Structure 1
Amino acid sequence: MYLSHLFLSDFRNYKELELSLEPGLFLFYGDNAQGKTNLLEAVSMLATATSFHASSDREVVNWSAQDHITRLKGTVQRNEDKVQLEVLVVDPSPPVFAEASGGSVQHRSIELPAHAPRKRYKVNGVPKRTIDLIGQLKVVLFAPSDLHLVDGGPDERRRFLDRALCQVQPRYSVALVKYRKIVAQRSALLKRIRDHQEDPAMLNYLDEQLTQLANQIIYERRRMVDALNAHANDFQHAISGGREQLQIIYRPSFHVDAEWGLSDAIGHYREQLRDVRKKEILQGVCLRGPHRDELEFLVNGVNMLSYGSRGQQRTAALSAKLAELTFMHSSTGDQPILLLDDVFSELDASRREYLLGQVANYEQVMLTSTDLEGFPRDMLQRAHRYHVAGGVLQRE
């Protein structure tokens, strides 16, 4: 699988970009804040329908876009066919900048038709739903934040699982979106019950919905972690020179028994919700469910979050990401496109060399860097190199 063509219009600092690609290594380099990460963000957005770099979709729309719209188009060559993907994002409240220096930034509102989506998709020119786009193109992202997978917050570790599973299992993406809505509704209801505005019996319906969706999510997360463990330790062992053994442990907030079948588990989860209902009402939040799940990384039996050195934590994160790459390849039969966003500057020489060796033979790799120092000469000779400055690409 590889991206053969990329078109951007008013995406971040790219007013318009048309880029032809082929299998192989693409190296985009230049100073910071010139648009290198934006390129990878666009490719990732075609795969996952969301940005790994923005808290809101509207952030990807160029501030000066005349129509307040950004368009992303990509042509993907897969093993069995070719597919054209398109994402359109509307910014309903673009900023207005004062002409004089020192003026304040204001926002203007745009009238959108009732129920008009702010993000739209097409697959082969036909309007589609989000679920129809996700997974058509598959990517694995290596960003500096991924090196903090082990020592960062639990939401980062959940996103690590979800980003891969949504591409591999479209039904997982549907379940995850529905689950998040149920959690939001249930949290609001818990607060109203606490304030004596609703009957606690109103929770029964939402509990049923939550446990059914949680069951699907937990099942797929457990399967993925099992698959990660089949490979992550080999990477850890190799990077550490045989000194370290890695185990990734999935810690769902629900108690889970390996002996439970899928249908049995729902009843057990429902019972666990009933056991914490009084506490949930008192606090006004959902205390059980996949939104509170955790991952633990044990190296030689030691929890890396609490006791790992910086080097051990980064090695464990790198091993987990390489295992994710293997998981996605084996699950789909397609090699995902690798997006490496300036991670080499964050790694020491030995880890950088190991990562380069692991990704060198993948079908398509897109890599960003501030300069070309530290890359092997033979790699630079075979790479498609582009200098990036102010949203403009110059091929060497």
Structure 2
Amino acid sequence: MWLRNIQISNFRNFSHFELEFSSTLNLFEGGNAQGKTNLLEAIYCLGRGTSFRTSTDQIMIKWNRDTLYLSGEGEIEGNFHKYEFSLSRDSGKIRRVNSHRVSIGNTSYWLWMIVFSARDIRIIQAGPGYRRNFLDELLFFTSPGFSHIRFSFNKVLSQRNALLGLAGEKGGIEDKNIEVWDSQFLELGSRIIYLRLMILRKLESIFCDIYRELTGLNRSCQFIYSCSFFKEKNNNYSIEDIKEIFSSQLKKIRSKELKYRVSLIGPHRDDFKIIVSGIDQRIFGSQGEQKIASIALRLAEVALVREIKKEQPIVLLDDVTSDLDPPRERFLLEALKGKGQIFLTTVDLSRFYPEFLSDSLIFHIENGKVTHGKR
């Protein structure tokens, strides 16, 4: 899987240009605030139909223009497809593949991309939503139909919360329609949790190996799924176990949900812990340890996608190496080199060892202008 070229019009600080890429290493070099991350974002937008930086689409349009347009050719399983993405200030975004309009959520023609950035440390440091989104994004890659399951669950959750809110306004009088939504809530919620547990078990062993290699330390690593309705530290529940416990707990907290007018348990409330040598990295890990854990997590994600999909995802690295010491920087680059297409941004080419540079197609970016690649 790789992106052969891209045409960009009115995206962020870019006016218009076209680029041809290498199927292996592509290096974007330039000073701060010149457009390197914007170019990564445009590539991601073209392949996935959304941004990895913002949920406000309109800010991606160049400030003095009304529309943006992206197009390019991407290869999946030996076949090239034409991708197009457009966005107008007056209407929503449109995604086309081979001239046919497709929904943003249609994963069948996604160019699978994994982004490494300094913001990844939030997966370790920040609230549960970041870790839930990390797991669910991985399941989008690896579990056919998961995107539909989560979309359906979110609709059911919204409707259920609305009914709980109405019941609360009536003094806690339960709407019989809540029971109808409960069955879907239980079914979809249990499937999401089960799939998360499965992927977490697979991810854990890969993460442990990578973490040890990255640090040079023989430390134990464990992922623990923190569910809102079962407290045991058990990642091996069957889907039947999950449904049974979920149903039982949902009945027990009905009065509390009516009081607070919101769904209090379910996959939307869950989390997972990253434990290294018995230490919860979110709470007790140092900044440096959390950084290493976030990189190991992304590398484990890449390795697991390769293993399950039998396809190399496209990897985007946004100035990730600048905070690493030379041995860890080299480990990261060697772990990715020769295993699919890579796009990497940097402010300093001298950081990279000569063999890496000689294999790279290098682009210079300055003030929204891109100088065509050279080796």
- TM-score, with structure 1 as normaliser: 0.87
Match of 1:141 in 2: 115
Structure 1 window deviating more from structure 2 (13-22 vs 262-271): it is: 262-271
- Measured in 2, the distance between the counterparts of 1:88 and 1:212 equals 37
DSSP-derived class of the 2:145 partner: helix
| Matching residue's letter, 2:136 | D
| Matching residue's letter, 1:122 | R
Q: 1:80 aligns with which of 78, 81, 101?
A: 78
DSSP-derived class of the 2:344 partner: strand
* Root-mean-square deviation over aligned CA pairs: 2.2
DSSP-derived class of the 1:86 partner: strand
| Matching residue's letter, 1:187 | N
For the Cα contact (< 8 Å) 1:7–1:18, is it kept in 2? yes
Match of 1:207 in 2: 182
- Measured in 1, the distance between the counterparts of 2:105 and 2:240 equals 25
- Measured in 1, the distance between the counterparts of 2:39 and 2:108 equals 18
Match of 1:317 in 2: 294
| Matching residue's letter, 1:220 | L
Q: Residues 373 and 13 (structure 1 numbering): CA distance in 2 closer, same or farther, change over 3 Å?
A: same
Q: Note the alpha carbon deviations across 1:214-243, whole angstroms, 9 max, x for none.
A: 122212211211111121111111122124
For the Cα contact (< 8 Å) 1:121–1:133, is it kept in 2? no
Q: Residues 261 and 234 (structure 1 numbering): CA distance in 2 closer, same or farther, change over 3 Å?
A: closer
DSSP-derived class of the 2:176 partner: helix
- Measured in 1, the distance between the counterparts of 2:106 and 2:133 equals 20
- Measured in 2, the distance between the counterparts of 1:363 and 1:4 equals 13
- Measured in 2, the distance between the counterparts of 1:342 and 1:230 equals 27
For the Cα contact (< 8 Å) 2:97–2:109, is it kept in 1? no
Question: 1:170 Cα shift?
Answer: 4.4
Are 1:331 and 2:308 matched, yes or no? yes
- Measured in 1, the distance between the counterparts of 2:228 and 2:69 equals 40
Q: Residues 375 and 248 (structure 1 numbering): CA distance in 2 closer, same or farther, change over 3 Å?
A: same
Q: Residues 300 and 90 (structure 1 numbering): CA distance in 2 closer, same or farther, change over 3 Å?
A: same
- Measured in 2, the distance between the counterparts of 1:127 and 1:348 equals 45
Match of 2:99 in 1: 125
DSSP-derived class of the 1:231 partner: helix
DSSP-derived class of the 1:150 partner: helix
Q: Note the alpha carbon deviations across 1:235-254, whole angstroms, 9 max, x for none.
A: 11112212422222222323
Q: 1:244 aligns with which of 204, 207, 219?
A: 219
For the Cα contact (< 8 Å) 1:85–1:133, is it kept in 2? no
- Measured in 1, the distance between the counterparts of 2:108 and 2:322 equals 30
Are 1:369 and 2:346 matched, yes or no? yes
Match of 2:229 in 1: 254
For the Cα contact (< 8 Å) 2:50–2:104, is it kept in 1? no
Question: 1:264 Cα shift?
Answer: 5.9
Question: 1:63 Cα shift?
Answer: 2.5
| Matching residue's letter, 2:64 | S
| Matching residue's letter, 1:281 | L
For the Cα contact (< 8 Å) 2:197–2:235, is it kept in 1? no
Match of 1:164 in 2: 138
For the Cα contact (< 8 Å) 2:22–2:361, is it kept in 1? no
Q: Residues 43 and 254 (structure 1 numbering): CA distance in 2 closer, same or farther, change over 3 Å?
A: farther
Unpaired segments ≥5 residues, structure 2 = none
Q: Residues 280 and 17 (structure 1 numbering): CA distance in 2 closer, same or farther, change over 3 Å?
A: farther
- Measured in 1, the distance between the counterparts of 2:129 and 2:109 equals 22
Structure 1 window deviating more from structure 2 (260-269 vs 314-323): it is: 260-269
Q: 2:358 aligns with which of 381, 385, 393?
A: 381
- Measured in 2, the distance between the counterparts of 1:47 and 1:280 equals 41
Match of 1:15 in 2: 15
Match of 1:103 in 2: none
- Measured in 1, the distance between the counterparts of 2:108 and 2:13 equals 25
- TM-score, with structure 2 as normaliser: 0.91
| Matching residue's letter, 1:57 | D
- Measured in 2, the distance between the counterparts of 1:259 and 1:223 equals 8
